Amino acid sequence: MSATPAPASAGSAPAPVNPRSRVLVASLIGTTIEFYDFYIYATAAVLVFPALFFPSDDPTTALLSSFAVFGAAMVARPIGAMVFGHLGDRLGRKGTLVASLLTMGIATFLIGVLPTYAQAGWVATALLVVMRLAQGFALGGEWSGAALIATENAPKGKRALFGTFPQLGAPLGFIIGNGLFLIIGALLPSAAGADPSQPSEAFLDWGWRIPFLFSAVMVAIGLWVRMRLVEAPVFTRTREAGLVRKLPLATVFRGHWKQLVLGTFFMLATYVLFYLMTTFSLSFGRTPTDAAVPGLGYGYTTFVLMLIFGVLFFAVFTLVSGPLADRYGRRRTLIAVTAGIIVFGLVWAPLVGLGTVGVVLWLVLGFALMGMTFGPMGALLPELFPTSVRYTGSGISYNVSSILGAAVAPFIAVALWEAGDGSPWLVGVYLSVMGLLTLVALLLGKETKDVALDEAEAPEADGRTGEAAPAASSASTTV
């Protein structure tokens, strides 16, 4: 499948453009790997890493050490967003996306071949930390690049729809990652049965490595697709006009700080809901009802299958959100969905108190709202920034929000769960408060549906690599 020529003016050679199918696959594959890596590491951090890399006489200390390394990637992500954003805005989207995917793939594969603490002592733990930091660094540049590939190549009036394809990586990564652990648990059962939460010796010896090694296959496919891309005409025109910034990071903080702040809070409720419906819900759902801090008491396999069922609604409503955001606008759509998230947080405890039917309804509603709020972000965040700083600006907003929303959510949610004596009502209130902050940001922001991504931005005295002085951009005045 070769690149399709774009219409050209008389006397000029037609510029190649990316076929729509290649754009969609290229934007989807990277984020699928991103979330796949997130889920398999999160699962391994609970099931096997405490014993294999953080041995301790106190199981709680080992688990907390494992989670600390898991959280380290959140700190590395904004750094990756700045570095890859600089490269993406200076050199182009294609090469930067290939570099971020390759970095992520190598780090994930190497986790699968690391020696354990019993084999190499503290060196094994240090190597795991380094690989996890490399994952976070690479992921910092992955999402924004994938979102730009989708939106900058989207046909008129369909940017939000195209922007949902990078977002589909979240539910697909969840299903693939958790499904693979369930399959391995069934093939390598322990005396307790096919339950990965009680791993067999074979699972501890080598079975846990399979999901990490399998990521190499997905990365190879992603690299093959992305290497066949050409630069979007939007970026090409910006470069030819001499509008590429020497220091995109400085430019975005100096001239677009309002967009950075608003974009960060646009994503806040999305990240909190995402963490609560995936990682926290797994702990809450599996904790016995007679524990010191009681949970729902489901078995690991049963609850993961319930989660996968809920995630199907996540995928469906992610796609549904695109056409709605294209028709009614990103802001109007997200205001309605965020109001729904606020209400959902307040009815969380009553829902799970209704038994299995209520728990399933809770999962379906939560994941449906997750799809509706996550989907439009693929278009909204890139639309906040002009072409010359779009990679940097959207990446920083997305990844700083991950610190405010996802990195601190584990500690807050668990503390509130304990404070409620096992009832999740305070956790639901926490979600509603975060939703309220996002709602305020959306009310302060402006609609970006009709922003022209390829319109040149206003000139400044410094920071240019060229001398052109085009008209002001609507993208730089959206807020």
Q: Report DSSP letters for 152-199, one per residue.
A: HTPPTT-HHHHHHHHHTHHHHHHHHHHHHHHHHHHHS-BTTBS-TTS-
Radius of gyration of the CA atoms of the chain, in A: 22
The predicted-structure confidence for 171-183, as pLDDT tens digits, reads as follows 999 999 989 988 9
Where do we find the tokens 């001239």?
255
The predicted-structure confidence for 239-265, as pLDDT tens digits, reads as follows 888 888 889 999 999 999 999 999 999
Mean pLDDT score, 358-369: 97
Per-residue pLDDT band for 114 (boundaries 50, 70, 90) equals very high
Per-residue pLDDT band for 59 (boundaries 50, 70, 90) equals low
The predicted-structure confidence for 435-445, as pLDDT tens digits, reads as follows 999 999 999 99
- Helix/strand/coil for 4: strand
Per-residue pLDDT band for 60 (boundaries 50, 70, 90) equals low
pLDDT at 462 over 70: no
Specify the amino acid at residue 190.
S
Mean pLDDT score, 155-162: 93
Mean pLDDT score, 103-122: 91
Q: Which of 11-20, 42-51, 142-151, 271-280 has the lowest mean pLDDT?
A: 11-20
pLDDT at residue 63, rounded to an integer: 63
pLDDT at residue 412, rounded to an integer: 86
pLDDT at residue 436, rounded to an integer: 98
Give the rounded percent of residues in the chain with a pLDDT score beyond 70: 88
Report the DSSP pairing between strands 16-17 and 4-5.
antiparallel
Mean pLDDT score, 400-410: 83
pLDDT at residue 14, rounded to an integer: 52
pLDDT at residue 342, rounded to an integer: 98
CA separation (Å) from 425 to 19, 86, 347, 392, 430?
Answer: 48, 43, 8, 38, 9
pLDDT at residue 44, rounded to an integer: 85
For the ranges 198-212, 311-325, 462-476, the maximum mean pLDDT occurs at 311-325
pLDDT at 275 over 80: yes
**Gap between the Cα atoms of 254 and 258, Å rounded:** 10
**Quick check: pTM over 0.75?**
yes
For the ranges 189-193, 286-290, 296-300, 311-315, the maximum mean pLDDT occurs at 311-315
pLDDT at 337 over 90: yes
Per-residue pLDDT band for 188 (boundaries 50, 70, 90) equals confident
Concatenate the DSSP letters of all residues of 334-393 into one string.
HHHHHHHHHHHHHTHHHHHTT-HHHHHHHHHHHHHHHHHHHTTHHHHHHHTS-GGGHHHH
pLDDT at residue 35, rounded to an integer: 83
CA separation (Å) from 463 to 234, 458, 460?
Answer: 19, 12, 7
| Whole-number average pLDDT of the chain | 85
The predicted-structure confidence for 24-56, as pLDDT tens digits, reads as follows 888 898 889 888 987 888 788 877 888 888 876
Where do we find the tokens 């990679």?
391
pLDDT at residue 477, rounded to an integer: 34
